[in-house]
Structure 1
Amino acid sequence: MTLTRRTMLTGMLGAGLGLTACTPSGPTVHASGDEDADAVASTPAATPPAFPTVDRTIATGLAVPWSLAFLADGAALVSERATGRVLRVDGAGGVDEVGVVPGVAPQGEGGLLGLALSPDEAALYAYLSSESDNRLVRMPFDGGLGTPEVLVEGIALARNHQGGRLRFGPDGMLYVTVGDAADGSRSQDPSDLAGKILRVDADGQAAEGNPFGTRVWSLGHRNPQGLAWDGDRMWAAEFGQDTADELNRIEPGGNYGWPAVEGAGGDPAYVDPIVTWPTSECSPSGLEIDRGVAYLCALRGQGLWIIPLAGDGAGTPQKAFDRELGRLRCVALAPDGSLWVTTSNRDANGTPGTDDDRILRVVI
């Protein structure tokens, strides 16, 4: 299908401190399929809730907290990219180390990245960079970490473009974002796991119903690091190179165009993004969706983008905490309905304060 480009709507100004509306140099909302983009943006279903505020700081002094996986009791397991540690952080600010994942070899953007808990909380899945590859491992979890079992290995490794987000979908399958390892040709090679979103079962095998009969769910990605669902609609956030960062609606078997296309190319061979940003305004990592609104962490853009969703399309994005908190890496919906957001100011690209990195409790 051919997707058309339009300029973003203006005038949805935030009513409070920390929220800014789009500017002409900001994000662009693209039409979705046969829907008219202006109609999508103006529908009541696309109206965002009240702007978010920081309720309190939960934890400080962390070393690049990359991922959050919530336990039923409201605490979260947190990965530290460079140290390989998994921490248990509770809502009162208690921080305890539950284990160090063996085999983590940090280099560049690699290290201990995504975490996902099995639905019964008996196993913790982790995406990590070893000395030779990126890999998916599973560890028994009983309050501490057991010995890792390698489920998927041989994923291409480079100093950047690792991907690394893990999330269980509403279908019970585990989804894995994988970067192109700084080699765009891998993204279009269906036999290569790099530059893809994977869908696997609990043992890391290709899930039943995958479009190619392999682990691959979608292809043509550069460096996707955000995954979330709005009902049964799957969304992913992806780093661009020079021009456009992306929020994509993920279709099974969809080809998202990299390296032939960055942003919206209008080529019917590829699926165009729903929203794009100039790379200076975003660098998207973590993604969460709550009540039809997507929350997207911006690293280089240093803020939290709020995108109202309407079906397969989106309304006008707005930006919260613009340059106030520094680089934001992960956002996750806590059991109590709040959002937990992690900073990433100690990742060699930020300017850390004395209490960085932090986990913040954000309320709507």
Structure 2
Amino acid sequence: MSLRLLISRPLRTNIGSITQSPCWRRPPFLIPSKLIVPSSYSGFRNYARLPPFQHHQHHPSTSPPSTPSPPPPKPSPFEESNPDDAYLLSYDSLNESSPKPAYAVFLVRFILASVAMSAIFLYSSIFAVLAAYDHSPYLSSIMRSSPAPVTATLLAANVLLFGLKRGVPALTPALVRFGYLRLDILSATHRISTRLSPALSIFLSSFSHRNFPHILLNGVAFYSFGSYIEVLDGWPTLLILAAASISGSAIGSLVLQRAHAPSIGASGVCMGFLSYLAMRQPDMDLSIMFIPFIRLSIGMGTLGMTAWSVYGVARTWISRGTVSNMLDHGGHLGGLIMGYGVYKWQHGNEKPVRRRNINPYPYSF
């Protein structure tokens, strides 16, 4: 299973005016990982720990009973702090005062920018691969010795960006700023490029990852599907599919979801690979990651991922944006749609390739 994460920002509020009001009786419901209480309101924190029946008995002149405070609840693994959060500035720090454009104009600009970046990536990658084969004997020998050299190169780019973000602290602010697709800021400003959300993040967010488990899961899925496609149909098809899935996942993240949060990860591309293979070779079997003894057909796996993504998208719309997902289901669904579209564009009404008809090395250089 691959992940494209939606990073929720903590709710920050000033409760000083609430605690000083004479008509205030009891504190709001506190969620430790969501509500940040200023340190100066220690009396408020002690007051909030009293049992409910003692709230009306407490008076500012008397000290609360000296009972040991319960330990704070342990956060879940998905709420643990991440070094990237220090550089994910909120919309309030943008100080945007100019009027925002109409949403239709912003949406057209976003789609055009996403398609243009994917097209530049596609043509520059094709040129680089051809140049490596024709003009560099060393690179040519390396690529000839690997069954899926382009897939390995794209995966190495993901690993390199993550390694630089964690290993070179001076580059972390820039890589976080360019590596997160700030859907929250885009939907608030209706601008494809701001100081906190550069336009290049529309493309680079599909090559960036939040933590080691995130890049591990996406990396295994990326190489498993991508290398198979490269062996089956060649590296040009792989690059076309990757470029289309990058664009489709970015557009799906913005358009299909109602609750917007920073998005990051290459799983939109992995979903494009998955739906392409499901149409190209429907009798292929899949095994669940890290549980290889559980197998299912690729058609059932794709259908399950599509249903899960549709449910996640519908959940945000039914709740009117009040409920957000940890996974970017809109990006997943956009990648699935683009994978199906690339198959129909390239193969049309051809019969799917059955396992007995596979040429394991269709392209030779």
Bigger strand share:
1
TM over 0.5: no
When the two structures are superposed, what TM-score results if normalisation uses the length of structure 2? 0.22
Find the structure with the greater CA-based Rg.
Answer: 2
Larger RCO (CA under 8 A, 6+ residues apart): 2
Bigger helix share:
2
